[in-house]
């Protein structure tokens, strides 16, 4: 592995014009594809194998033309103070609004509030429901504009009018904090390298990689049904790993220059050593992201695969474009120990007698491993305590900022009709095999009326064939409550008994039931996902480190950091700690996808730091140092760069906290805090403490397994030889 990558590094350095041309061509091609591709909105959502999805599919078959998955909008009206919606003037305004809404080309139907009895008991609130032929992602802008313009006309007549539902879905924006995150990364790189040129290389290559990845996702978004969130998350992860991978190779290149090697040889050795760590670190991230497909939720699978593709591009760019750009930079990238004119001196500084901070810290940990280990574990355990109160759910209009019309419509409906009105359940009764379908429909409605948390049950609405009916159930509690979840399970449990009596199938669906099914499916998939991803990465790390205990320690440290990060997410987004600082206007359940997505991404990133830091220790140990000395040597060479990489990654992720999309905001915060816990507590404190306690045992591997494993030579042993070897290799590559 090291020898192969060494040759790639030298070839890219020498043939830099060709390499740069290839990447510029790929970026141009992806950009043209993105510019010419049709725009895509939010991805369609389906959950194969769940009862809610089966019911939706059944409705498509038995109620053709009703667009069961079409977009909906609730136009909510509130009368001025002292008036009622039944007053003649207000009634005329509402009916004129309903008439205007019905004229849309994509509108299937609009309900009249007075005919549908959609007026609150006190007469102050009413609503009209608009159903569209197409889903929210396919709805044309003209239809959204017509909806908002019609509502504005009603406001001019004196009514308060707000719009809820998925018809007004918009593409999320990340805000200026994303730019701030990149700016912080630039500052950290300048401080780390002491040179604008050296600092600019990782930023440039990361932007090229993300540009190719996100442009490719945009170009394929319409064809593959990729939502806007997919490209946002790919950008988030691609930027972070792209900067970090390039950072490690540039840092190793400067170290090789400091040892007296010429620039081409230094580029080859940097790619051969640090590049090997990049490859395996990238593999762990890709495994973690692609492994999200085991959950069998198409949207999550697409997000994972798209982000994994961006990571793969970041790895390839680090291995080829970085050495090419180093060739262009020439003497403007200084050897380690030299400062550019930016920070004062251009001549090589004398080596300081005082060891660097990484050396001093590692020496301290090696002397007091038990105290550091206990302190780190107790601290992470305390941060993880809120995770015991984790509640999962999917965001609805109730989680929107109070400044949005969707949230105001949600609040008006809760005020006029009760909290459960925003999350009605749709019960589908399939009586095709029943001898008396009408009796089965009536029985289901009567049974549901007897449940504790039910406010309203509409009469059954059968299809033309008379073999299937829908019943709308309004719960007494809000959609994200435990009481509503219990009601869904109670109806489904009762449906089993009804099937035995009448051969009629009872299915519960609707957005609320769909959210409940998603949460349960994600919970059920978490353990198999952990086993798959951690298992595969464990095997990969055994090959990299040729050790059993080092990969085991890496996995256990990851579990500590991810639990602490989940605790922090619960504290902020569920309990409301520091909510104002994070821009969280509405606390509530943590997004259902958050735990499993965080596990996937954080595991991959945690293994990045493990590989980068511990391969330096492994390299020192292989070349004759004691286990304790190897820990200190690893920190002497790697602590500064790993620290810079972690700060950069945190800055990039934190930049997405400014997103208008609650899902992106939560993931940005969760990943930023997880990187902090994993890099600065687990990898920088617990890892050296455990390795110091284990000593030589840390690198133990059974002889039979040592013989069976392939020798990937991550530490670059094949590159350690006399100076003539470099000259011979140079001639071979030129030939």
Which residue in 125, 218, 59 sits closest to 417, CA to CA?
125
The pLDDT of residue 359 is above 90: no
Q: Is the pLDDT reported for residue 181 higher than 80?
A: no
For strand 160-164 and strand 392-393, is the pairing parallel, antiparallel, or unpaired?
A: unpaired
Task: Give me the mean pLDDT over the 37-54 stretch.
Answer: 70
C-alpha dist (Å) from residue 214 to 19, 180, 566 = 21, 20, 28
**pLDDT value of residue 124:** 93
Tokens of 81: 């103070």
Say whether pLDDT at 133 is over 60: yes
User: How far is C-alpha 258 from the chain's CA centre?
Assistant: 39
pLDDT digits (tens, 9 = 90+) for 286-306: 888 888 888 888 878 888 888
State the average pLDDT over residues 191-202. Answer: 79
| The two structure tokens encoding residue 47 | 């959950």
No. of H helices and E strands in the chain? 24, 11
Cα–Cα distances (Å) from 340 to 221, 259, 343, in that order, read 44, 18, 6
Record the tokens describing residue 537, joined without a space: 């990465």
- The pLDDT of residue 92 is 92
Mean pLDDT, the chain, integer: 83
The answer for residues whose C-beta is within 8 angstroms of residue 238's C-beta and 6 or more apart is 206, 209, 210, 213, 214, 307, 310, 311, 313, 314
If pLDDT is split at 50, 70 and 90, which confidence band does 723 have? very low
Cβ-Cβ contacts under 8 Å for 90 (sequence gap 6 or more):
77, 79, 83, 84, 159
Q: What is the Cα–Cα distance from 681 to 557, expressed in whole angstroms?
A: 9
H/E element, 189: helix 177-193
The pLDDT, as a whole number, for residue 714 is 63
CB atoms within 10 A of CB 455: 15
Average pLDDT over residues 200-218: 87
Residue 684: strand, helix, or coil: helix
Summarize the confidence of residues 714-726 as an average pLDDT: 54
Res. 126 pLDDT band, cuts 50 70 90: very high
Cα–Cα distance measured from residue 626 to residue 590, given in angstroms and rounded to the nearest whole number: 47
The answer to whether 52 touches 508, Cβ cutoff 8 Å, is yes
pLDDT band, very low/low/confident/very high, at 23 (cuts 50, 70, 90): very high
At 645, list the tokens: 């990489």
**Helix or strand (DSSP H, E) at 455:** strand 454-457
Give, as one character, the DSSP assignment of residue 168. G
Q: Quick one: what percent of the chain has pLDDT higher than 90? A: 19
Residue 538 reports pLDDT greater than 50? yes
Residue pair 110/116 in contact (Cβ under 8 Å)? The answer is: no
Q: For residue range 95-121, list pLDDT tens digits in order.
A: 999 999 888 888 888 888 988 888 999
Confidence of residue 617 (pLDDT cuts 50, 70, 90): confident
Mean pLDDT of 247-274: 87
Find how far residue 473's CA is from the centre of its chain. 34
pLDDT by residue (tens digit) across 623-658? 788 888 889 988 887 888 888 888 888 887 887 787
Residue with tokens 């039910």: 454
pLDDT of 18 above 90: yes
| Residue 293: predicted pLDDT | 85
Note the pTM of the prediction, 2 decimals.
Answer: 0.76
- Cβ atoms of 166 and 397 within 8 Å: the answer is no
Strands 392-393, 590-591: pairing is parallel
Give the tens place of pLDDT for each residue, 404-457.
888 899 899 999 988 888 888 999 999 888 888 888 888 888 889 888 888 888
pLDDT at 690 over 90: yes
115 CB contacts (<8 Å, ≥6 apart)? none
Residues 459 and 512: beta-carbon distance below 8 Å: no
Nearest to 199, CA basis, from 651, 655, 679, 648: 648
Question: What token pair was written down for 291?
Answer: 């492994």
Higher confidence at residue 26 or residue 170? 26
Better-predicted residue by pLDDT, 445 or 34 = 445
Q: In angstroms, what CA-CA distances link 203 with 230, 254, 645, 675? A: 22, 17, 12, 19
Per DSSP, 294 falls in state: G
User: Rounded to 5 degrees, what angle do the CA atoms 192, 196, 201 make?
Assistant: 85
């Amino acid at each position: 592995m090291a020898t192969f990558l060494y040759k790639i590094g030298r070839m890219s350095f020498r043939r830099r014009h060709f390499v740069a041309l290839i990447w510029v061509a790929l970026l141009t091609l992806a950009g043209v594809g993105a510019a010419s591709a049709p725009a895509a909105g939010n991805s369609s959502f389906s959950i194969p194998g769940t009862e809610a999805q089966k019911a939706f599919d059944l409705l498509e078959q038995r109620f053709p033309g009703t667009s069961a998955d079409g977009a909906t909008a609730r136009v909510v009206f509130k009368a001025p103070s002292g008036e009622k919606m039944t007053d003649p003037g207000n009634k005329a305004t509402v009916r004129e609004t309903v008439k205007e809404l019905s004229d849309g080309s994509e509108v299937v139907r609009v309900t009249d509030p007075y005919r549908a009895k959609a007026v609150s008991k006190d007469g102050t609130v009413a609503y009209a429901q608009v159903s569209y032929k197409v889903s929210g992602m396919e709805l044309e802008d003209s239809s959204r504009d017509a909806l908002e313009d019609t509502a504005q006309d009603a406001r001019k007549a004196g009514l308060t009018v707000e719009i809820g539902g998925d018809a007004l879905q918009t593409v999320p924006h990340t805000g200026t904090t994303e730019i701030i995150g990149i700016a912080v990364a630039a500052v950290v790189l300048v401080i780390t390298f002491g040179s604008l040129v050296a600092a600019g290389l990782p930023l440039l290559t990361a932007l090229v990689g993300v540009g190719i990845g996100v442009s490719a996702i945009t170009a394929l978004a319409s064809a593959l049904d990729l939502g806007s969130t997919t490209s946002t998350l790919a950008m988030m992860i691609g930027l972070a790993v792209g900067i970090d991978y390039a950072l490690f190779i540039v840092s190793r290149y400067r170290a090789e220059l400091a040892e007296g090697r010429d620039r081409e040889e230094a580029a080859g050795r940097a790619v051969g050593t640090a590049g090997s760590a990049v490859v395996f670190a990238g593999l762990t991230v890709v495994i973690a992201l692609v492994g999200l497909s085991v959950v069998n939720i198409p949207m999550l699978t697409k997000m994972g695969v798209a982000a994994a593709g961006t990571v793969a591009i970041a790895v390839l760019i680090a291995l080829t474009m970085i050495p090419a750009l180093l060739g262009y930079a020439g003497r403007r990238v200084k050897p380690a120990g030299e400062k550019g004119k930016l920070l004062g001196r251009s001549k090589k500084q004398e080596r300081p007698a005082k060891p660097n901070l990484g050396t001093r810290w590692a020496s301290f940990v090696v002397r007091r491993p038990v105290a550091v280990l206990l302190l780190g574990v107790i601290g992470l355990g305390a941060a993880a305590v809120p995770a015991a109160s984790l509640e999962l759910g999917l965001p609805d209009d109730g989680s929107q900022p109070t400044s949005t019309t969707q949230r105001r419509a949600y609040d008006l409906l809760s005020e006029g009709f009760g909290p459960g009105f925003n999350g009605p359940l749709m019960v589908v009764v399939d009586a095709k095999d029943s001898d008396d379908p009408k009796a089965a429909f009536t029985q289901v409605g009567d049974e549901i009326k007897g449940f504790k948390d039910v406010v309203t049950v509409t009469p059954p609405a059968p299809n033309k064939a008379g073999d299937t009916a829908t019943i709308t159930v309004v719960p007494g509690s809000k959609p994200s409550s435990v009481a509503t979840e219990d009601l869904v399970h109670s109806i489904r449990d009762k449906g089993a008994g009804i099937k035995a009596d009448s051969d009629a199938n009872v299915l519960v669906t609707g957005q609320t039931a769909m959210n409940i099914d998603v949460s349960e499916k994600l919970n059920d998939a978490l353990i198999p996902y952990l086993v798959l991803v951690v298992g595969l990465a464990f095997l990969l790390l055994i090959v990299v480190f040729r050790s059993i205990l080092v990969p085991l320690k890496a996995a256990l440290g990851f579990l500590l950091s991810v639990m602490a990060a989940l605790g922090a997410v619960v504290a902020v987004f569920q309990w409301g700690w520091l909510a104002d600082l994070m821009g969280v206007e509405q606390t509530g359940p943590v997004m259902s996808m958050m735990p499993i997505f965080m596990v996937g991404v954080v595991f991959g990133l945690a293994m990045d730091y493990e590989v980068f830091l511990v391969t330096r220790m492994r390299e020192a140990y292989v070349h004759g140092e004691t286990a304790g000395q190897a820990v200190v040597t690893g920190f002497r060479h790697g602590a500064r760069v790993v620290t810079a990489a972690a700060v950069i990654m945190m800055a990039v992720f934190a930049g997405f906290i400014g997103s208008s999309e609650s899902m992106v905001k939560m993931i940005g915060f969760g990943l930023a805090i997880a990187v902090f816990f994993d890099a600065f507590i687990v990898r920088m404190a617990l890892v050296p403490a455990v390795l110091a306690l284990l000593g030589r045992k840390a690198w133990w591997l059974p002889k039979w397994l040592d013989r069976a494993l392939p020798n990937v030579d991550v530490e670059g042993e094949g590159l350690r030889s006399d100076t003539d070897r470099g000259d011979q290799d140079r001639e071979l590559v030129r030939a």
